[in-house]
Structure formats: C-alpha cells, structure tokens
Amino acid sequence: MENYINEAVEKFRSLLTEQIARERKMEEEKCVTDFEKLSKIVIGICGGDGIGPIISAESRRLLEFLLKDEIAAGRIELRTIEGLTIEKRIAHNKAIPDDVLAEIKACNVILKAPTTTLKGGTLESANVAMRRELDLYANVRPVCVPDENIDWTFFRENTEGEYVLGSRGVAIPDTLAFDFKVTTKEGTKRIARAAFEYARKNGKTNVAIVTKANIMKKTDGMFSELCHEVAADYPEITAEDWYIDIMTANLVNERVRSRFEVFVLPNLYGDIITDEAAQIQGGVGTAGSANIGDRYAMFEAIHGSAPRMIEEGRGMYANPTSMFKATEMMLSHIGCKAQADKLSKALRICTEEAPKYKITGRPDGATCTEFGDYLMETISKL
C-alpha cells in the first residue's frame, strides 16, 4: 500500500508542476488571429467516426455552394483531413495522431464531425485533446426557441475542470480511485471575459455564473470569485451566482427560464447543461457548437457518432442539422456574415416554418443528402 501512496504522491507532484506551467504559458502567449487580415482562410473538415463522414460530406457540399466565389478567388480553401478515426487513434494509441494534428494546425478553423470516445482505458477523447492542443478555451453553444422566448448562449470553459486530467487519475487497486479537477486564474478569467464581452456586444444585460461553489469550495469558489472580478469591468451587466443543480431545474421551469441570457460555467457542468438546453430546443441534433481560442477555432455537432445507425445500415438517414448549425457559426466567425445569415434563415424555413422533409433517422424520413439539397434550394431563393 505504501508503494501505491508514494507513486500517487509523485504523480500528483508531476501534474501540479505541469498545470502551473500551463497557467504561466497562458499568461505569456497571447496571439489573436484577425481573420480580416488573412489573405487566405483554410478550413479543415474532419469526417470523424460513425455518421460523421456522412454529415461532414454534406457540410462540405454546403460550404462549396455558399462560398463558391471565395473559393474560386483563392480567398478560402477547403481541406478534407483524413485520419481522425477511432481505428487510427487506437492503432497509434493517441487521441490525435501526430500527422493528423499537424494537418489540423495547418488550418485556421476546423469543421469537425463526431468522433467516438472509448469507455475506460487510457485513450483520451479526441475532442478534449483538440481543445487542449489548439487551446480552444471557449465552448460556445447558442440555444434559441423564439416561441418560448428562449435565447440562451452558454460559455463553457473548455480546457480545464475535470476534463484536462480526466484520463490521468490515480487508482489504488481494490481500494479507491482519484480523478482531478483543475481551475486556473488565467483560464477562468479568459472564459469569463469572453462571456461578458459577448453580452456587451449583443446587448445582453444578465450573465449567470453557474458553479457548485458551496461544495467545491476551492475550484468552483475560485471560478466564481474570478468571474465577479471580470464582471466589475462591465457595470451595465448584472452578474448572478447560481448553483448547477438549481440551474438545471430552472431551464425546464417555464416561469423563469426566459429571464436568462448568457451563462458562464466550468467544463463538466457546461457539457451536461448544454445538452439539456439543446433538448429543450428540439434535441441535440438541432444544436451546433463553437470551440474558440485566440489563434484557432473548431466547430462541431454536439451529438455523438451514432454507431448503431451505421451498424443498422441507417447512416444515410442521419440528421445533418447540428453540423449545419456549426457551419453557420463558423461562417460568422471567419467574417462571412452574409452567408451565415442566409444559412440561418434557410435552416429556420427548412426545419420550423415550412419543412418539406422530416428527418427521422429511419427510412420513413428524408436522407441526409435530400435535406442538404432542400436547404441549398431554399438558400438559392433567398
């Protein structure tokens, strides 16, 4: 037993040293990409696993349609990045194989389809690895249900919390196991500032700081305290503390949920509550997700790779809406606002106002390609 304890202590010492160095690096390295000054923007498209290659192919087709002139003029380049598959990741025993990571880093933004994450073992999630390697610290997820006066934007811290060391815990066989949660000063302040800046630029007057600081006093307590420090620079915006358990209840409470506008919260809570919010909107297949850093950005569907659909031969009926929402967010991020607005309007028409097709995930509904054709047809009429 003493050997296990000594090994755990040394491992924790190593992790502490590593995370302190990471925090200092965040303070020292601040380089922000200005997309308006780039002579060419490279968009990398990762097909992923399961239904990923199917829905990402439709997204590429959509981008070729929307950005036809920009691509022809050489201002935008689309690159298909192969290799971010569970088979290759297992073979290399790496969340992102080195050659694939190099291709990703050669792009300015990534449009990523779902990837499979194994249960157990030590192979890290590709998403977690990509967020860390590209320092994509802000996971931004909008949820909008106009008929119910819901217009929420979630800012989930993306590189810390339980996820940064999620595959590197300590276990003493047949006795106990520890995982670690990390909160840093710089990591928290930058996600808080992203949330408050968004609120200011979009005329929002309320930011909900969501934690469990009454229980996780060190990590969540620090997160809340730092968010309030940042809030002091935005006196026109009300910053409110909420606990994650009551906030999950508030989102389904029709009497109070419309009062919320912007949320900022640690990694794990944000992962869970944004899926709940997406379900209120119509399901996780209806929401896209942005992962923003100072230099890179990655946009993705928020659902999984749906391996059962592939196993049952239903892949062609996969719903591409979440990938299309991610595409819309990406277009806006790189300055193609007109195309993003057209896509947003067309998606509303095709899914809410006058849907010609219904996607069910089965042969009684439209195929992914049929819906893609319908969407582009609708855009061409706008």
User: Can you give the pLDDT at residue 2?
Assistant: 82
Tokens of 259: 């009062």
Q: What is the pLDDT of residue 166?
A: 77
Strand 138-145, strand 238-243: pairing: unpaired
Half-sphere exposure of 16 (CA within 13 A, CB side): 6
Residue 283 has pLDDT above 80, yes or no: no
**pLDDT of 287 strictly over 80:** no
CB 334 within 8 A of CB 41: yes
Span 10-32, average pLDDT? 88
CB contact at 8 A, 192 and 264: yes
Per-residue buried b or exposed e for 133-150, using 16+ beta carbons within 10 Å of the residue's own CB:
ebbbbbbbbbbebeeeeb
Q: With a cut of 80, say whether residue 29 has pLDDT above it.
A: no
Give the list of residues 6+ apart from residue 10 with CB closer than 8 angstroms, or none: none
Average pLDDT for 353-377: 91
pTM assigned to the model? 0.83
Mean pLDDT of 26-43: 87
- pLDDT at position 119, please? 80
Asked whether the beta carbons of 262 and 205 are under 8 A apart, the reply is no
Distance CA 303, CA 322 (A): 8
Please determine, for residue 229, whether its predicted confidence score (pLDDT) is greater than 90: yes
pLDDT at 122: 76
C-alpha to C-alpha distance for 284 and 245, rounded to whole angstroms: 20
Are the beta carbons of 119 and 132 closer than 8 angstroms? Answer: no
Helix locations, the chain, DSSP H: 2-28, 52-66, 68-72, 86-92, 98-105, 126-133, 185-201, 219-231, 244-250, 267-281, 307-311, 321-333, 337-348, 368-380
Residue 356: CB atoms within 10 A of its CB come to 12
pLDDT digits (tens, 9 = 90+) for 302-321: 788 999 999 999 999 999 99
Question: What structural domains does the chain harbor?
Answer: 31-136+293-382 (3.40.718.10)
pLDDT of 167 over the 90 cut? no
Which band of pLDDT confidence, cut at 50, 70 and 90, is reported for residue 351? confident
Pick the range with the lowest mean pLDDT from 22-31, 280-289, 312-321.
280-289
Angle of CA points 229, 232, 236, to nearest 5°? 145
173-204 residue pLDDT tens:
889 998 999 999 999 999 999 999 999 999 99
Its sign, for the CA torsion 93, 94, 95, 99, is: negative
Specify the pLDDT at position 109.
97
Which residue, 81, 105, 83, is CA-closest to 92? 83
- Residues 31-54 have a mean pLDDT of 92
User: Under 8 Å CB-to-CB from 163, ≥6 apart: which residues?
Assistant: 125, 128, 267, 268, 271
Could you report the per-residue pLDDT of 241-268, keeping only the tens digit for each? 999 999 999 999 999 999 999 999 999 9
Q: Tokens 């944004």 correspond to what residue?
A: 274
The burial of 32, by beta-carbon neighbours within 10 Å (0-12 exposed, 13-18 middle, 19 or more buried), is given as exposed
Query: So what's the pLDDT on residue 285?
Result: 67
Q: From CA 243, how far away is CA 257, in angstroms rounded?
A: 15
At residue 70, the pLDDT reads: 97
Note the pLDDT of residue 123.
85
Residue carrying the six token digits 């934007």: 153
User: Which residues, in sequence order, are bridge partners of residue 210?
Assistant: 242
- Residue 198 corresponds to which tokens in the numbers above? 């968004």
146 pLDDT above the threshold of 90: no
Q: Kindly tell me if the per-residue pLDDT of 65 is higher than 80.
A: yes
Q: Cα 86 vs. chain centroid, distance in angstroms? A: 19
Mean pLDDT of the chain: 93
The C-alpha atoms of residue 206 and residue 271 are separated, in whole angstroms, by 21
Rounded to an integer, the average pLDDT of 218-235 is 98
Sign of CA dihedral 255, 256, 262, 264: negative
Q: Which amino acid is at 320?
A: P
